[in-house]
């Protein structure tokens, strides 16, 4: 007889299980202590943040040591494979770095409620489950867990109007997209009678996408696709993202920029490359249009921005456009290129948001809001100047930084599928976007000003984080094979 916890199915999702249980313990601990008059109502945010970082690192350890591979569990609700574990471990580590950089933000912007790290862990839980999900129902539930926590997070700074506005906008529009997703799922269930990815793929494998019988399925797929593109903030569905990026507390913006994309991409691969592969050729045009519009809107929209968070939001939109280039080409190289791109993008975003959060003027301890505030940072603090330059050169895709290689592999995969138009637009927009990344470098380096700012010292943790990211970005080109082989091996497991 199998004892409950010795059952393989429970052991296979041990990381998620561990997170759930420890979240409960942390909540219990925080609620009891923060309301205790005996301890004089202590502020637990710092303590809890570090505890959650520890938690994430333990979960990371559990994930990379997960020996249950290539199995489906709980009546085919979830799938555990090497690819998922690889992405999960990346997500856990990047969330840990977001939490580390939020420490400074919480300290200076007086975010004192201990729920912040807990909510972030809950969002991560949703993302981890989304990566593993192998069924429309579990997928929907995971996405909802992730989105709801995100809505709360974006309106987390209760005393700020911007934050409340962004939370409300995000919630209303996100609820729409969830509705689309659910409608799409139910259409597919109605037309196939199945919710499991594998069953759907078996049912659809011989179907003809031009026949009328399948029109309901196609509508359902398009609904799901729209919701996916919304969550990814691709172009015709991008309108929420600049407002949410701007309004949310910066640590949350960093979280939105860094973490959810990878999970959503894995969801796309699992659903579309597995179940709906037959329909992908007809969807390709939709993706191509989305990709071109996101690249154009992302790069041209950012030129006129004066607030740095809005600029980063538009840059995120254009980066999503680049990722969609590879999604259009639907081949193994494209999966590989997208995952590579997303990982390098995570590295670059961590470094750029670390810089953004940590630069504070000594006079009023306010963080940087407008791009103009960065004027001559390089003179006051040359190392931060160099960090800015390297990060933004890398985001712009200038060799020899890692950002160039991610773009190179993307165009590579696009050309291998003869998507010349996309590549052409991609190249032109990357020149345009280069322009505004250069503007940031120009402002940090070349501008003349009469007002000198003195900057607060960066904390040790954040400087370590920035340093390691920059080392990765600059030295990547010396030995690129390491990361590439890692990604390649994990993707091979997806194909099996």
Partner 1 sequence: MLSLLIILPLIGIFCLLLVPEEKDTIIKQIALFFSSLTFLFSLFLWVLFDCSTSKFQFIEYFSWLSMFNIQFFLGIDGISLFFVILSTFLVFICVLSSWLSIKKHLKQYYICFLLMNSFLIVVFSVLDIVIFYIFFESILIPMFLIIGVWGSRTRKLKAAYQFFLYTLIGSLFMLLAIFLIFFETGTTDFQILNTIAFSKEKEIFLWLAFFLSFSVKVPMVPVHIWLPEAHVEAPTAGSVILAGILLKMGTYGLLRYSISLFPCASIYFTPLIYSMSVIAVIYTSLTTLRQIDLKKIIAYSSVAHMAFVTIGIFTFNVYGIEGSMLIMLSHGFVSSALFLCIGVLYDRHHTRLIKYYSGLAQVMPIYSFFFVSFSMANLGFPGSSSFVGEFLTLVGSFQSNTIVAFLASTGMVTGAGYSLWLCNRVLFGSLSSQYIVQFKDINRREFAVLLPLLVCTLWMGVYPELFLEPMHLSISNLLQKT
Give the interface with partner 1 as residue ranges (CB under 8 A).
Answer: 382, 389, 393, 398-400, 404, 408, 411-412, 415-416, 423-424, 427-428, 430-431, 434-435, 438, 442, 445-446, 448, 477, 480-481, 484-485, 488
| Shortest reach from residue 486's CB to partner 1, in Å | 12
| Shortest reach from residue 423's CB to partner 1, in Å | 6
Query: What are the Cα distances from residue 333, in Å, to 61, 208, 321, 491?
Result: 29, 26, 17, 10
| Shortest reach from residue 303's CB to partner 1, in Å | 12
97 or 490: CB nearest partner 1: 490
276 or 393: CB nearest partner 1: 393
| Shortest reach from residue 270's CB to partner 1, in Å | 25
18 or 412: CB nearest partner 1: 412
Assign 196 to helix, strand or coil: strand
| Shortest reach from residue 393's CB to partner 1, in Å | 6
Helix (H) or strand (E) holding 410: helix 402-416
287 or 390: CB nearest partner 1: 390
193 or 382: CB nearest partner 1: 382
264 or 325: CB nearest partner 1: 325
| Shortest reach from residue 434's CB to partner 1, in Å | 6
184 or 403: CB nearest partner 1: 403
Assign 13 to helix, strand or coil: coil
Contact 340, 483 (CB under 8 A): yes
- Rounded Cα distance between 187 and 197, Å, is 14
- Rounded Cα distance between 460 and 437, Å, is 27
Across-strand partners of 133? 78
| Shortest reach from residue 329's CB to partner 1, in Å | 13
194 or 396: CB nearest partner 1: 396
Radius of gyration of the chain (CA): 22
| Shortest reach from residue 491's CB to partner 1, in Å | 12
- Rounded Cα distance between 274 and 139, Å, is 14
114 or 388: CB nearest partner 1: 388
| Shortest reach from residue 369's CB to partner 1, in Å | 23
124 or 337: CB nearest partner 1: 337
Q: Which long-range contacts (CB under 8 A, 24 or more apart) does 110-115 make?
A: 111/45, 111/156, 111/157, 111/249, 111/251, 112/43, 112/45, 113/45, 113/156, 114/30, 114/34, 114/44, 114/45, 114/48
- Rounded Cα distance between 440 and 61, Å, is 38
Contact 126, 142 (CB under 8 A): yes
| Shortest reach from residue 451's CB to partner 1, in Å | 17
183 or 435: CB nearest partner 1: 435
- Rounded Cα distance between 386 and 135, Å, is 47
| Shortest reach from residue 20's CB to partner 1, in Å | 39
* Residues contacting 429, CB < 8 A, separation 6+: 295, 296, 298, 299, 300, 318, 321
* Residues contacting 427, CB < 8 A, separation 6+: 411
Residues of 404-436 as b/e, b for ≥16 C-beta within 10 angstroms? bbbbebbbbbbeebebeebbebbeebbebbbeb
| Residue 360: how many other CB atoms lie within 10 Å | 20
170 or 404: CB nearest partner 1: 404
Query: What are the Cα distances from residue 203, in Å, to 208, 216, 267, 269, 275?
Result: 11, 14, 20, 18, 9
- Taken in order 322, 325, 327, 332, is the CA torsion positive or negative? negative
| Shortest reach from residue 454's CB to partner 1, in Å | 17
């Amino acid at each position: 007889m199998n004892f409950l916890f010795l059952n393989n199915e429970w052991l296979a999702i041990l990381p998620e299980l561990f997170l759930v249980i420890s979240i409960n313990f942390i909540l219990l601990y925080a609620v009891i202590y923060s309301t205790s008059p005996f301890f004089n109502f202590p502020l637990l945010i710092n303590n809890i943040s570090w505890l959650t970082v520890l938690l994430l690192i333990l979960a990371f350890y559990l994930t990379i040591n997960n020996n249950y591979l290539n199995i489906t569990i709980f009546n085919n609700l979830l799938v555990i494979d090497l690819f998922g574990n690889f992405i999960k471990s990346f997500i856990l580590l990047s969330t840990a770095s977001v939490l580390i950089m939020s420490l400074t933000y919480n300290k200076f912007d007086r975010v004192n409620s201990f729920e912040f790290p807990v909510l972030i862990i809950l969002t991560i839980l949703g993302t981890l489950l989304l990566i593993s999900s192998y069924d429309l129902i579990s997928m929907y539930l995971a996405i909802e867990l992730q989105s709801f926590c995100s809505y709360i997070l974006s309106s987390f700074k209760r005393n700020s109007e911007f934050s409340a506005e962004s939370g409300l906008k995000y919630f209303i529009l996100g609820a729409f997209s969830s509705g689309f997703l659910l409608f799409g799922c139910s259409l597919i269930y109605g037309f196939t009678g199945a919710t499991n990815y594998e069953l759907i793929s078996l049912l659809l494998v011989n179907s003809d996408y031009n026949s009328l019988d399948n029109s309901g399925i196609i509508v359902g797929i398009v609904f799901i696709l729209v919701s996916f593109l919304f969550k990814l903030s691709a172009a015709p569905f991008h309108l929420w993202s600049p407002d949410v990026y701007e309004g949310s507390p910066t640590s949350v913006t960093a979280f939105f920029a860094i973490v959810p994309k990878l999970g959503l991409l894995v969801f796309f691969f699992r659903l579309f490359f597995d179940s709906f592969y037959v329909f992908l050729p007809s969807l390709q045009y939709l993706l191509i249009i989305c990709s071109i519009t996101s690249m154009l809107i992302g790069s041209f929209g950012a030129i006129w921005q004066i607030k740095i968070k809005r600029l980063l939001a538009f840059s995120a939109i254009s980066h999503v456009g680049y990722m969609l280039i590879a999604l259009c080409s639907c081949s193994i190289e494209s999966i590989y290129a997208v995952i590579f791109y997303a990982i390098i993008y995570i590295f670059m975003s961590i470094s750029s948001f670390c810089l953004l959060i940590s630069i504070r003027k000594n006079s009023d301890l306010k963080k940087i809001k407008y791009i103009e505030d960065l004027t001559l940072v390089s003179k006051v603090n040359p190392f931060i100047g160099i960090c800015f330059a390297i990060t933004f050169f890398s985001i712009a895709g200038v060799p020899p930084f890692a950002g160039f290689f991610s773009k190179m592999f993307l165009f590579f995969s696009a050309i291998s599928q003869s998507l010349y138009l996309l590549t052409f637009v991609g190249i032109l927009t990357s020149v345009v976007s280069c322009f505004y990344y250069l503007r940031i470098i120009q402002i940090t380096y070349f501008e003349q000003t009469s007002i000198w700012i003195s900057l607060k010292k960066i904390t040790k943790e954040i400087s370590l984080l920035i340093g390691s990211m920059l080392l990765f970005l600059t030295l990547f080109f010396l030995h690129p094979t390491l990361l590439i082989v890692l990604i390649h091996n994990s993707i091979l497991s997806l194909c099996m």
